[in-house]
């Protein structure tokens, strides 16, 4: 037993947290390669290294995945201070390199000097596709930065290879990410680039992107569905996601064939972003004017949001609730109560559906089965749950209203 414990302790020294071991970088200048300040790490590595996100078999494991900022030419290196097979015969180390190679497309380099020489080619890199929107971000420390949003498709020369490199980031930052079959021409790609200067030349750095799939809607419309969206970590929290989503909405609004825009399995963060962008777009529509909001959610709102901004009824309803909260004096008890009832009525929908299903169940369940279902459904609990849901919703709406105020 003692031997086993010593062995286990020794083996434990050869386990590494893969989220820490993997270092990612977007490199503009040769000195970035050695600068720890430009390094960022994955949020997730379970898709490659299993649920515990551990690589076994190495001490001091470092996995470097460095990309040139624009073209995303890749340096891939695995380093470690010692490897398990050198001391134990019976235990195999994980094939770290093999696992990473499954997601990183061919054409990378193992050599740092070769990688640095690729930086010289970055001046030739130009954004793919057509320019949709340009915007600037002002930072106190560093002044003005200029960004461009482009729409590309798989036919753009060189884009397919670039996209294969770009989508490797999904694995590290989206929990349930999967690669798409980009050959299908119903995919649209929207890319964000930063313009920057290097030795008097204008260069472009990759900031983030979105993929959208155009579904067919009978008889002659399409429904673009957002599939993936990622702003790379060095650029997060600067408002690029909102700029991108708004530009994409405006692009599809200009296409008569588009019915409405949806998203596939949206994350909580995406829903917050969408609420903000759609509220920003809808606040200028006549049907969402402040004096109309207290009259309730109307058919005019549904119609105008759909026709002018390709927003579906469900999303229009959320926008109405956000803008109505902004226009409501919540210190006035009567108005506050009206607002609360309005939101709770929508939130109560799923509960009512449950009640109907319960009534059906009563006809076909044995009494003891029914009791276990009834337990989930008593009125007191429902009211408490509803109140909790309401508070969470309004808290989220208030943050969106604050953000709208800073944009005004």
Question: Using one digit for the tens of pLDDT, what is the confidence trace for 23-42?
Answer: 999 999 999 999 999 999 99
Span 320-343, average pLDDT: 96
The pLDDT assigned to 366 comes to 65
Question: Does residue 1 register a pLDDT over 60?
Answer: no
Q: What is the pLDDT of residue 349?
A: 78
Which residues have C-beta within 8 Å of that of residue 215, sequence separation ≥ 6? 186, 222, 223, 224, 225
Question: Regarding predicted confidence, which is higher, 336 or 380?
Answer: 336
How far apart CA 353 and CA 36 sit, in angstroms, is 54
pLDDT tier at 100, thresholds 50, 70, 90:
very high
Instruction: State both tokens at 277.
Output: 């962008």
- 356 burial (CB, 10 Å; 0-12 / 13-18 / 19+) is exposed
Q: What is the pLDDT of residues 188-208, one digit of tens each?
A: 999 999 999 998 999 999 999
**3-state helix/strand/coil string of 201-267:** EEEEEEEEEEEEEEEEECCCEEEEEEEEEEECHHHCCCCHHHHHHHHHHHHHHCCCCECCCEECCCC
Asked whether residue 367 carries a pLDDT value surpassing 90, the answer given is no
236: exposed, middle or buried (Cβ count in 10 Å: 0-12, 13-18, 19+)? middle
Q: What is the rounded average pLDDT of the residues 210-224?
A: 95
pLDDT at residue 408 tops 70 = no
Contacts of 123 (CB under 8 A, 6+ apart): 198, 201, 203
pLDDT band for 72, please (50, 70, 90 cuts). very high
Q: What is the mean pLDDT of residues 86-97?
A: 79
Q: Is the pLDDT of residue 2 over 80?
A: no
Question: Would you say residue 128 has pLDDT above 60?
Answer: yes
In this prediction, residue 89 carries a pLDDT of 62
**290: helix, coil or strand?**
helix
Q: Is the pLDDT of residue 280 over 80?
A: yes
Residue 90 clears pLDDT 80, i.e. is over it: no
Please identify which residue in the block is written with the tokens 């006809």.
363
The answer to whether the beta carbons of residues 132 and 190 sit under 8 Å apart is: yes
Residue 10 has pLDDT above 80, yes or no: no
Tell me: pLDDT of 158 over 80.
yes
Range of lowest pLDDT (80-84, 140-144, 304-308): 140-144
**pLDDT score recorded for residue 87:** 61
Sheet containing strand 22-27, strands side by side: 39-40, 22-27, 62-68, 74-79
- The answer to whether residues 62 and 39 touch, using CB atoms and an 8 Å cutoff, is no
Separation CA 167–CA 74 (nearest Å): 13
Confidence band (pLDDT; 50, 70, 90) for 183?
confident
Question: Is the pLDDT reported for residue 75 higher than 90?
Answer: yes
Query: Given the structure tokens 């001490």, which residue do they identify?
Result: 59
Span 165-169, average pLDDT? 97
Give the list of residues 6+ apart from residue 257 with CB closer than 8 angstroms, or none.
220, 221, 222
Separation between Cα atoms, residue 271 and residue 263, nearest integer Å? 9
Is residue 231 scored above 60 in pLDDT? Answer: yes
57-74 average pLDDT score? 96
In the chain the first and final C-alpha atoms are separated, in Å, by 69
Average pLDDT, the chain: 91
pLDDT of residue 384: 86
Residues in Cβ contact with 44 at an 8 Å cutoff, skipping those fewer than 6 apart: 19, 53, 171, 172, 173, 174, 175
* The pLDDT of residue 376: 57
Annotated active-site positions, please? 264
pLDDT of residue 85: 72
Evaluate whether 325 touches 339 at the Cβ level (below 8 Å).
yes
């Amino acid at each position: 037993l003692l031997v086993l414990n010593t062995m286990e302790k020794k083996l434990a020294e050869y386990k590494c947290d893969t989220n820490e071991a993997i270092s990612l970088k977007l490199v503009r200048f040769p000195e970035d390669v050695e600068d720890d300040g430009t390094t960022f790490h994955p949020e997730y590595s379970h898709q490659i290294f299993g649920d515990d996100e551990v690589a076994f078999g190495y001490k001091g494991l470092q996995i470097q995945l460095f990309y040139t900022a624009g073209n995303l030419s890749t340096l891939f290196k695995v380093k470690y201070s010692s490897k398990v097979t050198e001391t134990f015969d019976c235990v195999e180390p994980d094939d770290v390199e093999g696992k990473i190679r499954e997601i990183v497309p061919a054409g990378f380099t193992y050599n740092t000097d070769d990688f640095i020489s690729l930086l010289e080619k970055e001046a030739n890199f130009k954004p793919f596709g057509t320019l949709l929107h340009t915007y600037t971000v002002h930072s106190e420390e560093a002044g003005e930065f200029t960004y461009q949003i482009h729409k590309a498709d798989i036919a753009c020369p060189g884009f397919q290879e670039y996209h294969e490199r770009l989508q490797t980031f999904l694995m590290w930052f989206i929990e349930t990410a999967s690669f798409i079959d980009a050959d299908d021409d119903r995919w649209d790609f929207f890319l964000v680039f930063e313009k920057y200067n290097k030795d008097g030349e204008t260069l472009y750095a990759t900031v983030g992107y979105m993929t959208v799939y155009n579904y067919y809607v009978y008889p002659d419309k399409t429904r673009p569905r957002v599939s993936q969206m990622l702003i790379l970590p060095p650029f997060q929290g600067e408002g690029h996601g909102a700029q991108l989503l708004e530009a994409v909405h405006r692009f599809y609004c200009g296409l008569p064939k588009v019915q409405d825009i949806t998203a596939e399995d949206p994350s909580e963060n995406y829903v917050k972003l969408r609420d903000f962008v759609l509220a920003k777009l809808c606040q200028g529509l006549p049907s969402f004017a402040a004096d109309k909001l207290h009259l309730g959610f109307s058919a005019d709102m549904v119609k105008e949001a759909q026709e002018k901004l390709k927003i579906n009824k469900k999303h229009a309803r959320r926008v109405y609730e956000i803008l109505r909260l902004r226009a409501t004096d919540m210190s006035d008890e009567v108005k506050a109560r009206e607002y609360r009832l309005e939101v709770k009525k929508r939130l109560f929908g799923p509960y009512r559906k449950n009640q109907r299903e319960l009534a059906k169940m009563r006809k076909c369940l044995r009494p003891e089965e029914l009791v276990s279902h009834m337990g989930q459904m008593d009125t007191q609990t429902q009211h408490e749950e509803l109140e909790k849901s309401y508070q969470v919703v309004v808290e989220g709406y208030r943050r969106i209203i604050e953000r709208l105020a800073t944009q005004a």
